[in-house]
Structure formats: structure tokens, C-alpha cells
């Protein structure tokens, strides 16, 4: 009868003195393939270790040379904690990185849920990766691996790479149609992608005569739906969002009267984990399928009408609100 050996998982401290030495090992050209493989970013290169941001230091700052995707990597030994999660978000926001990679020996249920929520509501993709060293009893060699605990809901660089191609083509056609119709939807500036790692998110200003950068329209085409969102950079007391929500019924009726076809309207007040207040219109005329190219005309017309509706409904309200502050 075959006898099997026992797998053992020793603590990281048996192989690396501290998190800094682990970061240096993982960033080395001979080892970064562990990150490349799990992320699907095969052109990933570590550009800097311990990069200073707001008095703290990013463990690994990396960039994919193929797609231009910028990545911050936060490493920690042992169980995930709020300190490392908070630092990872601070680093990515200050560096305007496209991706957060959070590596830990173990993730709590709460932190897994926080990462899932972030991936569903924020623009920046997050990977929660469990790091393991595995030894076989009686063998003098060990294996290292990174195991995904949570991955982005939308990621155009892994097995589903073709979706990114569809998203890019979808918005390219949308811009062309908008320009053919007199550029009305793009009157305050060209629509542009959020980043090279997010072809499903395009942004444009709310209006040409509103100078503040606190407001923007975000157009999204993902596997879960088509939407246009008014995003409000969160202030301490949510002044703008609360002022609009006080007239929620009136605004909802106004939006529905202006949007072509059906739309679901949602209100999301920012929190510690959600960096923006969001008022969103969601396509609800059946299932949205990026691969259904024959339906693009209907999708684009809905997107144009929703963009116009949000602009018409909120531009004046924003101007009046700021004139009173």
C-alpha cells in the first residue's frame, strides 16, 4: 500500500527575516513570475521597492510593460489586518495605481468581504492573494505559491482577456456615434478610459462650465451591466450627495422621463470603504451582453440618452448648490 508524506506549511519567518526581505525576494527578476502568472500580467516588472508615500513605504511598486498597468503590492506576514489594508488603499490612491495586490498568510472573512465590495464599487482592481510555503515531510525542498482568495469582478488580462477587446470596441463605436450626432454627449470634453487596466470604465466631465473636478460622469460596460454614474468625490459631510438625495423622488422622475427606455436608479452614499458618493442609472431592458454586437446600436442609444439625462438633471443643480456654499 502506498504511503503518503505529510504536507507542512512553516511560518514565513523560517525563510525570510521580515516583510521587507520577502518583498525583495518576490520582486527579484527570478521570482516575480509568481505574480505575473496569478495576475495574468506577463510583462510585469518591479520598478521600485519601499517607495515612499505619505510617510509610509510601498512594499513593491510594479508596472506591466505590455499594457502599462501600474500595480502596488502590499505584503504582510500572518493574518490580514486593517493597517495593511488601509496602507494599500493609501498607496494606490496617491500613486493613481490601477491595481492593488494584497498578499497575506491568511485572510479574515471580513477582509475578504471588504475586498469584494471594493472590486464591485470602486474603479481600482484588487487581488487578495494568500501566500504559502509548502514542505513535504522528509524532503529538503519547499515550494512557494500565491493562491487567489479574492479577484476583481472585471479583469481583462486573464483567461477572459477577450472581454477587454469587446469593451474597447464598444466604447470606440460609442464615441464615433456621439460625434456623428453632433458631439452633444461629449460637449464638455472627450470621453476617455479610466486607465489601461479598465477598458470597461470611461469618464467625462459633468458639464463644460462646471470647473470643479469633484464631479464626473462614469460610463461602465461590464459583465454585470451597462451604467452611467454621477460620481462625487466624497467630502467630510456629503454636502452635495445629501442635498440631491433630499430631492430623490423629483430627481428620479426627472431622470426616468429623459432616459430612453427603462433604467434602474441607485443611490450609494460613500463610507470609509467607498471613496465616492454615487448616483447611478443602470440599463434594465433585458440582459446586457458585450458579445451581442448586433445589439450595440440599442445599447449605444441608451448610453447616450442616460448621459444626456444625468447632465441635464444635475448640471444646474450643481451650479446652484455651489453658488450657495
- pLDDT, tens digit, for every residue of 11-46? 888 889 899 999 999 999 899 999 988 998 877 889
CA dihedral 146, 147, 149, 153 (to 10 degrees): 90
Phi, psi of 40 (to 5 degrees): 80, 15
Q: What is the mean pLDDT of the chain?
A: 82
- pLDDT for res 245: 93
- pLDDT for res 7: 72
Q: Are the C-beta atoms of 106 and 78 separated by less than 8 Å?
A: yes
Residue with cell 460613500: 270
At 108, the pLDDT band (50, 70, 90 cuts) reads very high
Q: pTM surpassing 0.75?
A: no
- pLDDT for res 208: 59
Q: Kindly list the domain boundaries of the chain, sorted by start residue.
A: 7-150, 161-324
Q: Which CATH class is domain 7-150?
A: alpha beta
Dihedral of alpha carbons 187, 190, 195, 200, sign: positive
- pLDDT for res 187: 42
Most confident of 116-120, 172-176, 184-188, 236-240: 116-120
Rounded to 5°, the CA angle 303-255-323 comes to 110
Q: How far apart are CA 44 and CA 142, in angstroms?
A: 25
Pairing between β-strand 225-233 and β-strand 215-222 as defined by DSSP bridges = antiparallel
| Span of 56-60, 100-104, 110-114, 270-274 with lowest mean pLDDT | 270-274
Helix axes 296-324, 161-180, angle to 10 degrees: 70
* 106: nearest Cα among 11, 7, 8, 6: 11
| Span of 1-5, 126-130, 238-242, 255-259 with lowest mean pLDDT | 1-5
Mean pLDDT (whole number) for 54-61: 88
At 76, the pLDDT band (50, 70, 90 cuts) reads very high
Q: List residues bridging with 230 in a β-sheet.
A: 217, 279
At 58, the pLDDT band (50, 70, 90 cuts) reads very high
- pLDDT for res 211: 56
- pLDDT for res 172: 83
- For residue 137, pLDDT beyond 60: yes
- For residue 323, pLDDT beyond 90: no
User: Could you tell me the fold of the domain covering 161-324?
Assistant: BirA Bifunctional Protein; domain 2 (3.30.930)
Q: Are the C-beta atoms of 208 and 187 separated by less than 8 Å?
A: yes
Q: List residues bridging with 99 in a β-sheet.
A: 71, 125
Residue with cell 452635495: 240
Structure confidence by residue, pLDDT tens digits, 306-322: 998 998 999 889 888 87
**How many distinct helices (H) and strands (E) make up the chain?**
8, 13
Residues 6+ positions from 1 with CB-CB distance below 8 Å:
none
Structure confidence by residue, pLDDT tens digits, 153-207: 877 665 555 566 777 778 888 888 877 765 554 544 455 555 554 556 777 777 7
Amino acid at each position: 500500500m502506498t504511503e503518503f508524506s505529510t504536507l507542512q506549511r512553516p511560518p514565513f519567518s523560517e525563510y525570510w527575516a521580515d516583510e521587507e526581505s520577502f518583498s525583495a525576494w518576490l520582486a527579484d527578476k527570478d521570482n516575480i513570475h509568481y505574480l505575473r502568472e496569478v495576475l495574468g500580467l506577463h510583462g510585469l516588472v518591479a520598478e521600485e521597492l519601499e517607495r515612499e508615500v505619505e510617510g509610509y513605504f510601498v512594499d513593491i511598486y510594479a508596472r506591466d510593460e505590455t499594457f502599462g498597468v501600474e500595480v502596488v503590492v502590499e505584503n504582510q506576514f500572518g493574518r490580514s489586518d486593517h493597517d495593511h489594508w488601509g496602507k494599500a488603499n493609501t498607496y494606490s490612491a496617491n500613486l493613481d495605481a490601477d491595481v492593488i495586490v494584497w498578499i497575506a498568510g491568511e485572510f479574515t472573512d471580513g477582509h475578504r468581504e471588504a475586498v469584494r465590495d471594493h472590486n464591485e464599487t470602486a474603479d481600482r482592481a484588487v487581488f487578495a492573494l494568500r501566500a504559502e510555503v509548502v514542505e513535504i515531510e522528509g524532503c529538503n525542498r519547499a515550494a512557494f505559491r500565491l493562491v487567489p482568495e479574492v479577484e476583481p469582478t472585471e479583469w481583462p488580462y486573464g483567461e477572459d482577456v477577450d472581454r477587454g477587446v469587446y469593451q474597447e470596441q464598444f466604447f470606440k463605436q460609442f464615441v464615433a456615434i456621439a460625434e456623428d450626432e453632433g458631439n452633444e454627449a461629449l460637449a464638455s470634453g472627450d470621453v476617455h478610459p479610466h486607465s489601461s487596466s479598465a477598458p470597461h470604465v470611461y469618464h467625462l466631465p459633468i458639464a463644460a462650465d462646471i470647473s470643479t473636478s469633484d464631479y464626473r460622469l462614469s460610463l461602465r460596460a461590464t459583465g454585470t451591466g451597462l451604467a452611467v454614474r454621477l460620481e462625487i468625490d466624497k467630502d467630510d459631510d456629503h454636502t452635495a450627495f445629501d442635498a440631491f438625495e433630499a430631492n430623490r423622488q423629483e430627481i428620479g422622475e426627472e431622470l426616468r422621463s429623459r432616459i430612453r427606455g427603462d433604467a434602474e436608479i441607485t443611490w450609494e452614499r460613500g463610507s470609509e470603504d467607498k471613496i465616492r458618493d454615487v448616483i447611478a442609472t443602470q440599463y434594465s431592458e433585458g440582459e446586457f451582453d458585450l458579445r451581442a454586437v448586433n445589439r450595440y446600436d440599442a445599447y449605444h442609444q441608451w448610453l447616450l440618452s442616460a448621459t444626456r439625462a444625468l447632465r441635464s438633471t444635475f448640471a444646474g443643480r450643481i451650479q446652484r448648490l455651489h453658488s450657495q456654499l
